[in-house]
Amino acid sequence: MNIFKAKSINPGIYIGKARFLVSKAPIIRHSHISADKAAAEFEYLTDSIDVALAQVRQILTTLPEEGQEKEIFETQEMILADPDILQKLETLVLKELNSAPSAVKIAFDEVIAHFEGMQNDFFASRAVDYKDVQQRLLDILLGVHTDPLSSFQAGEVLFCLEPSPTLISSMATQGIGAWVSQKGAYTSHAAILSRGLNLVAITSIPELAFKVRDGQQVIVDATRGELIVEPDADTLARYQKLKADMEASALKDQARALEPAITSTGRRVRINVNIELPEEAATLKAMGAEGIGLFRTEFLYLDRSSLPDEEEQFQIYSSVAKDMAPFPVTIRTFDLGGDKLSHLIPFEPEENPFLGCRGLRFSLFRPDIFKIQIKAVMRAAVAGNLQLMFPMVNDVEDLLQAKELVAECSKELAEQGIRHKADIPIGVMIEIPSAALCADILASEADFFSIGTNDLTQYTLAVDRNSETLSYKYAQHHPSVLRLIQMVLKAARKAGITVGVCGEMASILQYVPLLVGLGLEDLSVQPAKIATIKSIVRKCDLHLEEMVQNSDLDHLGEVEDLIYQKLKKYYQD
């Protein structure tokens, strides 16, 4: 029996036989055509694009009408209709006399290399989208019709280098309920689809092909982030029971999803959700969400041909506000910067974008763009319970500058006779150590805090959260991070403002009792986790609160003993 650590993409337990995906993609060698054949070759290429569009649209008919899953393949539909891509392909075939397959290889490789060079999860998912579309086109052009999953049996576990959205959608229809990959990101479109389709998944296992063989029995423990190869009899029996218990427990949790999460001591913990796209909001209340704690707005500025104007943003924010009313919706102003930047905004590349002009810093650098968003949110707040939250706040000076712009926007809207909410609540995302250390000063100027544990951890520990080499060092429960959280809580309580967690930590089941015990008032989580996290909160009692408050959290080993041993009964049946 061998156990390998991994990163969880979608939690759960799956037991089956390993099966590696064997790529049948042909090697594309650059080839040219004669000038007299160019027109026919380009027509062949455009016909193939039409076939690809038809395939993508067929996939769209199998996905739910509402939700992010459909948006992923709508993105692929837009890629196939992108005028810039089509213009590039036309030039490559008609003027440079490349064959259709060569043109697709050249054009898409350029875009893929551009996105991959940005070294960012958001853009990594875009690179995979373009790879997926490229492969679909090449398969059509070259007459490759082999289903990559044709040799798979229902109940097997798919192993691969990195999954594509198309592969994930095929898995769901063929009864393959889990996948394991060497590469992948939590925010990738394959990962988002997997969570939407409830596929158990883990990633980031180096040299995966050397650790597992086809046909070996495996346990994918995506709750703990482990791959168990050839489990012994006791381990297999334990996991079979655990899987059955988890499935039974999930059914019970779902039955109470619409009820509030109240600890046995009577303390209510609000369970909000994080969303990336407005379409997600329509079904959230029915799932038990009590608000949107983080609405990321970067989608408005990326993968498009023009910047969003005030009216477009107003319509989107109004729609989300109405969908969630009367619950609060926290709009995080755009978190753009050197690592995540629209091609429509000229900006010099930075050597270290994660420590550069990003988040609120970038917004203050471009108030012309920033004010458009602020005005749209203030106008939309008339339709529902909207709040503004600023990312990457360094200190109170940053916050004061941003509040000045909010006041300026309110004045300009009033002068134009446009209805808006002048006293819209303003929050600070605590994700830089300096903000946590100055939390008492920030609390005097903010209406609420939300702790972004992902960045707070990586900036506090000086560890890139995407580094495979240093993944063992990236611990959101590190004593230094917990001390900063306690500091923020103390400052918020003294000032009488609310504080929650919107980072990944809030969605990790093992951390929920710890966060509740520390005194967090709201958790903003992945939508699929709402019912389970509410259930965990209800189990929290006076003993837990006393245990967490009185525990020595000075050493990592002691914190891990608290989480994985003493608090285990609260998150594991």
Number of helices followed by number of strands (H, E) in the chain: 22, 16
Helix (H) or strand (E) holding 431: none
CATH of the domain at 160: 3.50.30.10
Question: Is 257 part of a structural domain of the chain?
Answer: no
Q: Is the same domain home to 555 and 471?
A: yes
Task: Enumerate residue ranges in the chain where pLDDT < 50.
Answer: 338-339
Question: Is 266 part of a structural domain of the chain?
Answer: no
Question: Is 240 part of a structural domain of the chain?
Answer: no
Structure tokens at 377: 């949110």
**Angle at CA 558, nearest 5°, toward 553 and 560?**
105
The pLDDT of residue 162: 86
CA distance 203 to 186: 9
CA distance 165 to 147: 14
Residue 216 is part of which domain span? Answer: 2-23+148-232
Question: Is 67 part of a structural domain of the chain?
Answer: yes
Q: Is the same domain home to 432 and 419?
A: no
Q: Is the same domain home to 103 and 198?
A: no
The pLDDT of residue 11: 82
The pLDDT of residue 57: 86
Helices (H), ranges, 416-465: 433-437, 439-443, 453-461
Q: Is the same domain home to 467 and 376?
A: no
Q: Is the same domain home to 18 and 153?
A: yes
Does 540 qualify as catalytic in the annotation?
Answer: no
CATH of the domain at 83: 1.10.274.10
213 alpha-carbon distance from chain centroid:
31
The pLDDT of residue 432: 95
Question: Is 274 part of a structural domain of the chain?
Answer: no
Q: Is the same domain home to 562 and 437?
A: yes
In the listed set 186, 210, 232, which residue is the last one of a domain according to the structure? 232
Q: Is the same domain home to 442 and 404?
A: no
In the listed set 389, 424, 459, which residue is the last one of a domain according to the structure? 424
The pLDDT of residue 400: 97
Question: Is 259 part of a structural domain of the chain?
Answer: no
Contact 40, 504 (CB under 8 A): no
Q: Is the same domain home to 216 and 197?
A: yes
CA distance 64 to 51: 23
Contact 525, 453 (CB under 8 A): no
Burial 72-93 (b: 16+ CB within 10 A, else e): bbebbbebbebeebeebbbebb
From the candidates 160, 357, 502, 540, which is the catalytic residue? 502
From the candidates 189, 420, 477, 478, which is the catalytic residue? 189
Q: Is the same domain home to 570 and 443?
A: yes
The pLDDT of residue 26: 59
Q: Under 8 Å CB-to-CB from 477, ≥6 apart: which residues?
A: 505, 511, 514, 556, 559, 560, 563
Q: Under 8 Å CB-to-CB from 257, ≥6 apart: which residues?
A: 287, 288, 530, 531, 534
Q: Is the same domain home to 136 and 157?
A: no
In the listed set 109, 142, 175, which residue is the last one of a domain according to the structure? 142
Structure tokens at 288: 């038990």
Number of domains in the chain: 4
CA distance 105 to 85: 12
Question: Is 174 part of a structural domain of the chain?
Answer: yes
CATH of the domain at 319: 3.20.20.60
The pLDDT of residue 339: 47
Question: Is 108 part of a structural domain of the chain?
Answer: yes
Contact 434, 395 (CB under 8 A): yes
Q: Is the same domain home to 494 and 511?
A: yes
Q: Is the same domain home to 184 and 125?
A: no
Does 189 qualify as catalytic in the annotation?
Answer: yes
Report pLDDT digits (tens) over 273-332.
Answer: 998 778 778 889 989 999 999 998 887 876 666 788 999 999 999 999 999 999 999 999
Structure tokens at 378: 């203030």
CA distance 70 to 73: 6
